[in-house]
Amino acid sequence: MVVAVPTAVNPTPTFHYDDAGYMVVEGVRVRDIQDALGEEASPFYVYSKAQISANYEAYRAALDGVDAIIGYAIKANNNKAVVKHLAGLGAGAVLVSGAELRLAMEAGMDTSRTVFNGNGKTPAELRAAVRSQCLINVDSEFDAAHIADAARAEGLPANVLIRINPDVDPEVHAYVSTGLANSKFGIRNSHLQWFLDYIRDAGDDVLRLAGVHSHLGSTIKKVSIFKDAADIMLGFVNTIREGGAAPHLRYLNIGGGLGIDYERVGEELPSPADLINTIRPQLLAGGLTVIMEPGRSLVGNAGALVSRVIGVKTNGSTRFIVTDGSMSELIRPALYDAYMYIAATEPGGETGVFDVVGPVCESSDFLGKGRSLPLPAEGSGLAVMDAGAYCHVMASNYNMKRLPTEVLVDGDEWRIVRKGQTYEDLMLGYEGLDV
């Protein structure tokens, strides 16, 4: 019998329990990975290759019949094996730094299908982006000037997308809302004509207006929000076209941001197909190539952070499970008060209600509060689910914790796809210095 984690919510049960009550990823027991890695490599991240494939396929199938680029937002999870796998499936990339551009190229991404984003792109990053012929978004007046400088320096035209703020409220946490009129991202829309003039005046050998871009935010759960934004963006495309020559205008980039089912309570979340079907008429009517920039919805539910239980204690009326996993390895709960589902990876005792916390010296260091879990034995495993996006990439060395090992499961096999740090790695910065 295959039981998803938890039952029935996860449509592709790549994470499930076997008959003996152990959590299995594809065909591999989490406990076996834990034993093989040992205590030194705990906690660790485990990813399912099949789940990533399924998530990508959901976008690909939804976009059937639409000229499209699915650009994977590498910032969600920059593990090279993950990026390579998505490149192999046909994904392009969405980049926010020069280092991400280097990684995308090393992982075999086709740079003509990548978008370089950001409100603070440096001259060196822009030159690299021009050299590799990425699409580059124009985020401000100074950014337009810097991109033109980079294009002149490289002797190559820069293909640019104007990042518009549709001013549609994504109805998400303020820290992940990025498309409102007072956001630090994107241009002042009232200034659109200034940008069009600037691009035209720079000349075709310097700046080419390839399209428009928007990104509303992340963890969005309503497709109507994307539809409203797509309508507004198409309005901008029409305005630009009516204004005359935009011979290179081809792309409508509607960003990323589709939410995932962190709560796992069976809430109906929109799928990529729901999202795309809502805007399909607009996409086809414009005769444009659509760019989508999913991050979280491609990799989020494909990963988990697996910690070991150090012990269980009670203070006042609260029972705590203390694990070796903490806000240093997974900061979303501490940073955004984000809810992430926590599941035991092996059978335990009587079910109770616990706060799951780490050893870091901050009261914000929790992974989950008030969770119903079987009483765990010391050394047993607890998994924070849906940790494939914005988790390992935000890990830190706070409290001298070390960046965790990452493991990729593929069917009945698994392998380490990034080594965890050692104490010696933390000391590298002192090498050759007199301290």
Whole-number minimum distance, CB 425 to ligand PLP, in Å? 28
Whole-number minimum distance, CB 43 to ligand PLP, in Å? 23
Give the residue with the Cβ less far from ligand PLP, 70 or 202. Answer: 70
d(CA 46, CA 209): 41
Question: Rounded to the nearest 5 degrees, what angle is found at the Cα of 285, between the Cα atoms of 117 and 210?
Answer: 30
Q: What Cα–Cα distance (Å) separates residue 17 from each residue in 4, 123, 253?
A: 7, 50, 40
Give the residue with the Cβ less far from ligand PLP, 33 or 389. Answer: 389
Residue tagged 């497709």 (tokens): 223
d(CA 296, CA 218): 8
- The 8-class DSSP code of residue 246 comes to -
**Identity at 397, one-letter amino acid code:** N
Active site residues: 361
CB 302 within 8 A of CB 14: yes
Residues that bind ligand PLP (CB under 6 A): 73, 75-76, 94, 117, 215, 218, 255-258, 293-297, 389
Smallest CA-to-CA distance from 89 within 118, 65, 56 is with 56
d(CA 190, CA 407): 48
Smallest CA-to-CA distance from 218 within 247, 266, 183, 265 is with 183
CA-based diameter of the chain, in Å? Answer: 72
The token duo for 338 is 């984000």
Write out 175-223 in H/E/C secondary structure: HHECCCCCCCCCCCHHHHHHHHHHHHHHCCCCEEEEEEECCCECCECCH
Q: What Cα–Cα distance (Å) separates residue 117 from each residue in 129, 147, 160, 198?
A: 10, 12, 10, 19
d(CA 305, CA 225): 31
Helix, strand and coil in the chain, % to nearest 5? 35, 25, 40
CB 331 within 8 A of CB 340: no
Give the residue with the Cβ less far from ligand PLP, 78 or 399. Answer: 78
Coil vs helix vs strand at 124: helix
Give the residue with the Cβ less far from ligand PLP, 92 or 294. Answer: 294
Whole-number minimum distance, CB 93 to ligand PLP, in Å? 11
Give the residue with the Cβ less far from ligand PLP, 98 or 255. Answer: 255
Whole-number minimum distance, CB 95 to ligand PLP, in Å? 9
Give the residue with the Cβ less far from ligand PLP, 101 or 202. Answer: 101
Give the residue with the Cβ less far from ligand PLP, 179 or 420. Answer: 179
The token duo for 337 is 């008060």
d(CA 229, CA 350): 49
Whole-number minimum distance, CB 58 to ligand PLP, in Å? 13
- Tell me how crowded residue 49 is: count the other CB atoms within 10 A of its CB: 21
Give the residue with the Cβ less far from ligand PLP, 138 or 202. Answer: 138
